[in-house]
Structure 1
């Protein structure tokens, strides 16, 4: 069981950027009737999404969020010594997008940069990786950039597309003594890797002419092999089982008082999943901010995006548990305490 704590790391601030373009789900033509469409929207909790134009990548959204964050903090860019970029919609197969962002942000060549390829629990995993580096004490300031343009990976005939939104986020961290440790619970079950995947386009299954052909799958959805294939029933069962257990692990292992937690920031999968998790744990729904109505499921960016949009100034001096779960299969939770953190207004690109 991957339960551990990381000391001497302070989360300084969050920022987020989404595309200007908004797609209203009520305008979808994927349903046979308006009544059926409205029922789907009510069940998922997603009314609209911000969708990137073809020339906007997840790195562009993260770049804008990072620039604003650095400006708000008044940081000297030469002092930022680590940048981790978390995404499954990177600019290229290689080089690492983090290297490109280092140059765009005009950071020092002494800055450590690397990518992490994870989807929905990516922010939690990325936070554990970057915190481990900062905690050692040699690196004082660091940026965790998490971005996704998942709308580009969906079939236009797939109803799941109606809950898929795009966003880029930035989280600033620095070395600090006498701060409360971050507590983590992380897990992986690779036996379920086929539950959410894009079959072709990597080196296991390179792109061929067949990759572009649309075919109707067992679920009745028409898609090609360069678009996301998801076993919805498996993911639903996985999410409502693993996420509550992960949060309970934090309670039990670190002797946390559930009532003392100010907010539970769950991955914004869809309302049907999150409502079940909230009910299983007996959580106060008012402590579980919901960002799905206007942004949908933005994969690895969902947690920091929700903090920026739904908590904002209310995030100061709060105790938070954040939980991510999704492709891999992987899942995890983190407990952290925030000081005088102020989130800048949501940015648009």
Structure 2
């Protein structure tokens, strides 16, 4: 997919973090590997800590917390919202959808359209695409885009490959029509033949959860996980990112008639610091333009990573100024894509900590 969206902008971003912090150093004894060997990952991958939701906190709780914060602080009003989009891989239930829960619990009008999108790493880009299309039919109403994941609940704490990097969190973005906005150039690509590089084998109708799927096993690599748990084939995903993302970014630059050196920031999905450093080197982008610290402080929050990177690193700058940015995400699906977008003069851009 290659397209241009016109007269659309992000006017506000709120990041929501759980209050529980788990430190990599404290998790070393979870694993069967020698501690000294495990600690090497801290330096290479950039693991320091990650945020974990409580056992009693779920995706809808983070969405409601964020929406209520915006409403109570008069950062948005209910009557300006025409649609609620929730993008997540960790729904509370099969039914009802989280967007309907948010609409009902927060008291939005019955004319507000509700939509859930099951997407992972590219969730923010996919949510923006859907929001941009809905805005063609909402008049002066805005879209409330909620990206949220609590995937730590689906990762084995005895799996050194996956557990140290996963982080929970949410972000709420306000998307609106704007006659003065620069064009948004977008490229999205998919390859379902490589889908098993990131997957959760059990839990759907094809293979329901059972005693058998919940059994922890050493699957031959020293990590213990069950079929109920999420797993990433790190080598396959690393190779995929290095092979596919740089050509996608260069194609986007040509499509948008821009040059890499003209862009102010590169706001990328946060799988781990090592992968981002190698990607930055391939693109020959200055270190100060491509942030790679989110996964170090908070973990990898799947499709929530781009708005959290923005809120964590650029907050007040985006309230007072404007920047030409490249947004890029890559992962589950497998899917990858990028957008050029002018970000700035936001009504709000901040990170808050919840009690969830």
Tell me the secondary structure at the aligned position of residue 38 of structure 1. helix
Of the candidates 328, 343, 347, which is equivalent to residue 349 of structure 2?
A: 343
Give the corresponding residue for 2:308: 305
RMSD, matched Cα: 1.6
Q: Is 1:167 aligned to 2:169, yes or no?
A: yes
Pairwise CA distance, 1:83: 0.7
Tell me the secondary structure at the aligned position of residue 258 of structure 2. coil
* Contact 1:66-1:145 within 8 A present in 2 as well: no
CA change 1:83–1:137 in 2 (3 A) is closer
* Contact 2:32-2:223 within 8 A present in 1 as well: no
Aligned ranges 1:192-203 → 2 under 5 Å: 192-203=194-205
- Length-normalised TM-score, structure 1: 0.95
* Contact 2:82-2:138 within 8 A present in 1 as well: no
Tell me the secondary structure at the aligned position of residue 212 of structure 1. coil
Aligned ranges 1:30-49 → 2 under 5 Å: 30=31, 32-49=33-50
Give the corresponding residue for 1:212: 214
Tell me the secondary structure at the aligned position of residue 332 of structure 1. strand
Give the corresponding residue for 1:294: 297
Give the corresponding residue for 1:94: 95
Separation (CA, whole Å) in 2 of partners of 1:334 and 1:17:
24
Separation (CA, whole Å) in 2 of partners of 1:204 and 1:225:
13
Pairwise CA distance, 1:68: 2.9
After superposition, give the CA deviation of every residue in 1:34-64 in whole Å (9 maximum; x if it has no partner).
4323311111112001101101112222222
* Contact 2:117-2:127 within 8 A present in 1 as well: yes
Instruction: Report how many aligned residue pairs link the two structures.
Output: 348
Separation (CA, whole Å) in 2 of partners of 1:67 and 1:338:
24
* Contact 1:9-1:135 within 8 A present in 2 as well: no
Give the corresponding residue for 2:118: 117
* Contact 2:185-2:255 within 8 A present in 1 as well: no
Separation (CA, whole Å) in 1 of partners of 2:118 and 2:264:
30
Give the corresponding residue for 2:330: 325
Aligned ranges 1:96-245 → 2 under 5 Å: 96-136=97-137, 138=139, 140-159=141-160, 160-245=162-247
- Length-normalised TM-score, structure 2: 0.93
Tell me the secondary structure at the aligned position of residue 337 of structure 1. strand
Pairwise CA distance, 1:137: 5.0
After superposition, give the CA deviation of every residue in 1:221-260 in whole Å (9 maximum; x if it has no partner).
2211111122121111111222222211210111112122
Of the candidates 278, 281, 292, which is equivalent to residue 279 of structure 1?
A: 281
